[in-house]
């Protein structure tokens, strides 16, 4: 017989967990003791949201991540991180405490039951599974359900609430593994897909975040090359296809490229959507005038099929990778005669329309800054884009050389989340160059997590675009109502001084040479984060105004 806390942490160790993230509190002390005993490092965040972001970033590079929060506000502070993890389909286990199961119904401080802050119910909306362990003998089944939900199918966050007295109960030991079964069910419509691809005269591939989730990078590249189909990506699909590939049209939607738009204007007859819900961000600038004749849509979840685009749609349900592997097998057996006109090449060879950016001595253009950052970062750097105009500049102008090296969420959109995601990703993949692209607004919200990277001696590179505003909201309101309300700061954040106060190495950049030198120095640093503040033009118009 062993304590519930012991059995739980033993299983986390077996699952390959090396780090858990959180902030201590009385209700979860038994878990912290066992983590120390089993040599699982507890990473002290500056806020529970930051801990949840880091755990989810860790999970994107590992099988699962773990965030711990104490009862009451410790749990509610994790809710935003859970919502963000759900948007990323990041398999993250959120564990929260509760003062005492046997005293439920009495007045308790930080009560997390139905008599106080009902964390189980709160987490239901932002996770795939949320349950409370009311007795020690419930742990095995509930923990197994949680791990299966987190790591199977569409994947995502799960939540367990475990009272402190239950953590100290004794139960028989058990083991739970990540399920080995995979989705082998493939669509029975793949022969029709081959027929439609053969018949299409002007097709296009539209790749979303689901390609990241399924790791189907090689398969979508094969599909594009096999049928010579031009490829564009959604904002969340950025990083799924190399932008230097001859078939790349770059991004479409918010932050999209002109050549992708021009291609659609030539009346696509067959659009193949892979791993995208087709949200408003993905379809920004998309109008009935450029509707394709029909869609083929690969996705695990049918919820949003034919909702955003009410067009004739051949739905291919199931795991994207499994379906594309089977499509590849079938196409090799059968003769594939490709009938494709060469007109797509004119769009692939054109450059984007020239920018009307005005340079000045005080500020750098964000567009130019992105290109300089890309030039001096290693080609295999993994970049996490925070939510704001800074990342939409990157969606448009940051080149991808290796798939799986750029992550951005175009669904939930928490400002500041990438600061924590980069921490978790670096702990999960210490051999990789991990970069966070963020803004001054995001840094105001969750920038203190840079201190967590300092404590952990993590050489994460933080690129912070500072334009003294919530730029995306500011420019959007100016377009919508003619002026901005509450979106600019009266007192600017001095990012460099702020970073230094947290113990990070920092540089302030006003020109391209400053950026170059800062990144070169950052790449030489191996014992802590580097913050590169770039003072960008607050009057520059970001590529985000094409959303209705």
pLDDT, one tens digit per residue, over 266-278 is: 889 999 999 999 9
Query: Would you kindly state where each structural domain of the chain is located, as residue ranges?
Result: 2-171, 190-349, 366-535
pLDDT classification of 354: cutoffs 50, 70, 90: very low
Q: How many other C-beta atoms can be found within 10 angstroms of the C-beta atom of residue 433? A: 19
pTM of the model: 0.93
Question: Whose CA is closest to 540, among 365, 355, 373?
Answer: 365
CATH 3.40.50.970 fits 2-171, yes or no: yes
Q: What is the DSSP string of 110-160?
A: T--STTS--HHHHHHTTSS-EEE--SGGGHHHHHHHHHHHHHSTT---EEE
Per-residue pLDDT tens digits for 428-446: 999 999 999 999 999 999 9
SS (H, E, C) 345-375: HHHHHCCCCCCCCCCCCCCECHHHHHHHHHH
pLDDT of residue 352: 47
Per-residue pLDDT tens digits for 123-170: 999 999 999 999 999 999 999 999 999 998 889 999 999 999 999 999
Per-residue pLDDT tens digits for 289-345: 888 999 999 998 888 888 888 899 999 998 899 999 999 998 875 555 555 555 556
Classify domain 366-535 at the CATH superfamily level: Thiamin diphosphate (ThDP)-binding fold, Pyr/PP domains (3.40.50.970)
| Parallel/antiparallel/unpaired status of strands 158-163 and 130-132 | parallel
The whole-angstrom separation of Cα 187 and Cα 31 is: 44
The whole-angstrom separation of Cα 231 and Cα 219 is: 13
Average pLDDT of the chain, as a whole number: 90
2-171 matches 190-349 in fold: yes
CATH of 190-349, one of 3.40.50.1220, 3.60.15.10, 3.10.20.30, 2.40.170.20: 3.40.50.1220
Per-residue pLDDT tens digits for 488-500: 888 999 999 999 9
């Amino acid at each position: 017989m062993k304590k519930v806390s012991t059995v739980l942490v033993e299983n986390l160790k077996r699952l390959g967990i090396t780090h858990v993230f959180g902030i201590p509190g009385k209700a979860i002390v038994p878990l912290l003791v066992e983590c120390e005993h089993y040599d699982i490092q507890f990473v002290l965040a500056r806020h529970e949201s930051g801990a949840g972001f880091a755990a989810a970033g860790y999970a994107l590079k590992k099988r699962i991540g773990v965030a711990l929060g104490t009862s009451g506000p410790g749990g509610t502070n994790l809710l935003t991180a859970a919502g963000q993890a759900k948007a990323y389909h990041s398999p993250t286990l959120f564990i929260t405490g509760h003062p005492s199961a046997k005293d439920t119904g009495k007045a308790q401080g930080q009560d997390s039951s139905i008599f106080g802050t009902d964390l189980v119910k709160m987490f239901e909306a932002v996770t795939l599974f949320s349950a409370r362990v009311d007795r020690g003998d419930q742990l095995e089944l509930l923990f197994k359900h949680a791990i299966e939900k987190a790591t199977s199918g569409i994947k995502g966050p799960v939540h367990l609430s475990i009272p402190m007295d239950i953590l100290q109960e004794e139960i028989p030991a058990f083991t739970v593994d990540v399920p080995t079964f995979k989705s082998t069910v493939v669509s029975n419509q793949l022969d029709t897909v081959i027929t439609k691809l053969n018949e299409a005269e002007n097709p296009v591939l539209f790749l979303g975040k689901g390609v990241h989730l399924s790791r189907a990078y090689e398969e979508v590249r094969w599909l594009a090359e096999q049928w010579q189909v031009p490829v564009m990506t959604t904002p969340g699909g950025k990083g799924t296809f190399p932008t230097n590939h001859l078939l790349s049209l770059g991004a479409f939607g918010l932050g999209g490229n002109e050549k992708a738009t021009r291609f659609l204007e030539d009346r696509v007859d067959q659009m193949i959507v892979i791993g995208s819900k087709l949200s408003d961000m993905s379809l920004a600038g998309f109008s009935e005038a450029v509707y394709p004749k029909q869609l083929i849509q690969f996705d695990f979840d049918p919820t949003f099929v034919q909702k955003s685009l009410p067009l004739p749609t051949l739905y291919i349900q199931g795991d994207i990778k499994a379906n594309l592997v089977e499509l590849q097998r079938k196409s090799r057996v059968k003769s594939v005669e490709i009938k494709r006109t060469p007109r797509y090449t004119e769009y692939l060879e054109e450059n984007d329309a020239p920018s009307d950016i005005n340079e000045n001595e005080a500020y750098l253009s964000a567009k130019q800054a992105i290109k300089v950052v890309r030039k001096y970062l290693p080609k295999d750097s993994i970049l996490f884009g925070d939510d704001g105009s800074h990342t939409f500049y990157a969606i448009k102008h940051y080149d991808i050389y290796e798939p799986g090296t750029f992550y951005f969420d175009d669904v939930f959109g928490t400002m500041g989340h990438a600061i924590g995601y980069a921490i978790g990703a670096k702990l999960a993949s210490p051999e990789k160059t991990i970069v966070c692209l963020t803004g001054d607004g995001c840094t105001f919200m969750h920038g203190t997590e840079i201190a967590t990277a300092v404590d952990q001696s993590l050489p994460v590179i933080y690129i912070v675009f500072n334009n003294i505003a919530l730029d995306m909201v500011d420019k959007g309101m100016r377009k919508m109502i003619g002026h901005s309300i509450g979106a600019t700061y009266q007192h600017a954040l001095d990012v460099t001084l702020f970073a230094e106060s947290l113990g990070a190495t920092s540089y302030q950049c006003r020109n391209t040479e400053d950026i170059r030198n800062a990144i070169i120095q950052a790449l030489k640093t191996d014992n802590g984060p580097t913050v590169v503040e770039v003072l960008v033009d607050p009057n520059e118009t970001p590529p985000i105004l094409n959303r209705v």
